[in-house]
Amino acid sequence: MDDELAAARGEDTGRKREFHSRSSALDTLKDLDLNGKTYAITGTTSGIGIETARALALKGAHVVMFNRNIVESEKLKKRIEDEQSDVKIDFISCDLNSLQSAKAAADEFLSKHWPLHGLILNAGVFAPTAKFTFDNFESHFGVNHLAQFLLVKELLPALRQSSPSRIVFVSSVSSSHTGLKAEMTRSEKIKKLCPENANEFYYKDISLQDELWEHSECLIDEWMKSQKPISTIGHDETSTGNTAAADSSSEENA
């Protein structure tokens, strides 16, 4: 499986990899002391999000969970505190189905004057039937992209003040099946993603994504001048190390 993933990404399958799909979150942090570091994570109530929050907290980091499910967030906090009593975990209510909620969550974080050494955008939805956010965007686009893009934009001041800091986007290897290629122009990508018979909502969302791409390029250019690279990892490449954890691509992960 690892070789297949590497081949799909054009990587040399002969090179030795320190971590792989069976590595747990704690495995990747085994030699790190994260005391004094603060990480904000979206979608920590299932799958990868649970283990990411748990591992960072157990290694000494201050973990701030951005979730919509208050009950499950409190359960996770208690579970980690039962495992290690001196962990530092906070919870901010954030429903990524609503841009207003995402903005309010970012504002609440900034009001605490906490540092922010890492923003991990882990939450995501996978809805087999058509659904829309409170702002009337198609749910995959609204939750997986728009709301989390807004979080990045609003939390950039805290990230800059905590330099060196990092932004991590958790994605999926399914993104390799879109038909998009790096050498395509933006207009070619839009044409590929938005066929001529696309409905009004789809066209609106893809058109807005075009604007986000342009704005993202400006943000990334600015970020790269003073920060470490932005990272992207795939859900399919990682293991939670917890067989009871739900699939992180499910709708509950938002």
Which pLDDT belongs to residue 150? 92
Beta pairing partners, 67 = 93
Which pLDDT belongs to residue 30? 84
State the total domains in the chain.
1
Amino acid identity for residue 123 in this structure = A
The answer to whether position 159 is within a domain reads yes
The answer to whether position 114 is within a domain reads yes
Q: Output phi, psi for 231, to 5 deg.
A: -110, 150
The answer to whether position 254 is within a domain reads no
Which pLDDT belongs to residue 11? 52
Q: What is the C-alpha to C-alpha distance for residues 25 and 73, in angstroms, rounded to an integer? A: 19
Q: Prior bond to 115 cis, omega within 30?
A: no
The answer to whether position 196 is within a domain reads no
The answer to whether position 39 is within a domain reads yes
The answer to whether position 187 is within a domain reads no
The answer to whether position 180 is within a domain reads no
Which pLDDT belongs to residue 99? 96
Which pLDDT belongs to residue 14? 56
Q: What pTM does this model have? A: 0.72
Q: What is the C-alpha to C-alpha distance for residues 7 and 110, in angstroms, rounded to an integer? A: 41
> Which ranges of the chain have pLDDT less than 50?
1-2, 4-10, 199-201, 203-207, 210, 232, 236-253
Averaged pLDDT of the chain: 76
The answer to whether position 79 is within a domain reads yes
Give the side-chain half-sphere CA count within 13 A for 121.
25
Determine contact, residues 111/104, Cβ cutoff 8 Å: no
CA angle, 224 as apex, 222 and 225 as ends, to 5°?
A: 70
Instruction: Give me the CATH number covering residue 143.
Output: 3.40.50.720
Q: Prior bond to 229 cis, omega within 30?
A: no
Which pLDDT belongs to residue 131? 84
Which pLDDT belongs to residue 124? 84
Helix, coil or strand: residue 32: coil
The number of residues making up the chain comes to: 254
Domain range enclosing 54? 25-175+229-248
